[in-house]
Amino acid sequence: MYQDLISLADLTTNDILELLALAAEQKRALREGKTSRPLEGKTVAMIFEKPSLRTRVTFETGIFQLGGHGIVLESGQIKLGERESVPDIARNLERWVDGIVARTFSHEAVEDLARYASVPVINALTDKLHPCQVLADAQCLIEHKGDLGSLKLAFVGDGNNVCASWFNFAARVPLNITLVCPPGYEADPEITAFAQREAKGEIVITHDIEVGVKGSHAVYTDVWASMGQEDESKERQRIFAPYQVNAKLMALAKPDAVFMHCLPAKRGLEVTDDVMDSKQSIVFDEAENRLHAQKAVLTKLIGK
């Protein structure tokens, strides 16, 4: 039984399917106006070292809807590892709160919070992984396409934290994923090897756009320069330009393929307006599901 959500690789296939089922059930319940309060009387501290719209609002709203109370700690406030060490922050927080949600630069910071705090820790994005995003996206893909096992998802762009979490997901739940990226921007080699070893579906990396996108049921992209890589923006714009998701690239996928993006999007760079605003785009459904997927995680880890 998992105590924290640091990486989807730490969960079993059943754990992930259970979270997805709970997320779907809670989404339905919310739409029917039914409430449940498994976090009644509980508090959750939320550490944000990086900016956020979706993650912050969906966690805070989710905690509120589940009857709990969320406390946001901005990076300037606690100065993670600077004003105080990460283990000491963990040892303080565990005395007061029932769970910790953390978005940090270093992945080790979230791992350390989990190691030193006795309460559950939820990874809200690190430089390495973004598991909550992929849970919400998987829920979305199921809603639009049904069974994942027969699908091919083409992740076009940087083999970054979101891509790595998709690889971890596919190591546990059958899904074929092809990362289509420029040379040198492949996903973390350890995570790639792990996914290729464990996955029931195919995990492929190619630099060839036509080969990679052809026949895909979903085309996913993300920013070319992630938070913390702003200095590389100009160079990355040049390198990633051929990998822009535009109408021509989407035409390589199946005619009814969906377009996915974790957001925020840099329109005109990794994706064009016509694709973002097309009927194929399900980007705001993904954003909506952040609420439901994370409520499932909060219920499972922190709920009574």
- Minimum separation from the CB atom of position 130 to ligand CP (A): 6
HSE (CB half, 13 Å, CA atoms) of 31?
A: 9
Angle between helices 13-31 and 131-145 (to 10 degrees): 70
Examine residue 125 and tell whether it contacts ligand CP (CB under 6 A). Answer: yes
Question: Please, are residues 276 and 265 in contact by the beta-carbon 8 Å criterion?
Answer: yes
Is-catalytic flag, 98?
Answer: no
- Is residue 103 among the annotated active site residues? yes
Nearest to 198 by CA among 8, 20, 4: 8
163 catalytic? Reply is no
Query: Token pair of 235, please?
Result: 């160079």
**Separation of alpha carbons 110 and 121, rounded Å:** 8
261 is a contact residue toward ligand CP (CB under 6 A): no
Among 26, 52, 126, 192, binds ligand CP (CB under 6 A): 52
Task: Please give the helix or strand (H or E) that residue 110 lies within, else none.
Answer: helix 107-116
21 near ligand CP, rule: CB under 6 A: no
The interface partner of residue 53, options being ligand NVA, ligand CP, none and the CB cut-off 5 to 8 Å by kind, is ligand CP
Catalytic residue status for 140: no
Q: How many residues bind ligand CP (CB under 6 A)?
A: 9
Q: Does 134 interact with ligand CP (rule: CB under 6 A)?
A: no
* Catalytic hit among 130, 172, 261, 292: 130
The yes or no reply on residue 100 touching ligand CP (CB under 6 A) is no
Residues 60, 44: Cα–Cα separation, whole Å? 9
Give me 4's structure tokens: 């924290």
Give CA–CA dist 242/244, Å, rounded. 6
Choose, by CB under 6 A, the member of 226, 272, 280, 294 that binds ligand NVA: 226
Q: Which of 54, 107, 152, 172 binds ligand CP (CB under 6 A)?
A: 54
Match 């498994």 to its residue by tokens: 38
Short-list 85, 89, 94, CA closest to 118 = 94
Out of 65, 123, 161, 289, which residue is the one contacting ligand NVA (CB under 6 A)? 161
| Site for ligand CP, rule CB under 6 A | 52-55, 125, 133, 262-264
| Site for ligand NVA, rule CB under 6 A | 125, 160-162, 222-223, 226-227, 262
The residues annotated as belonging to the active site are 103, 130, 133, 222, 262, 290
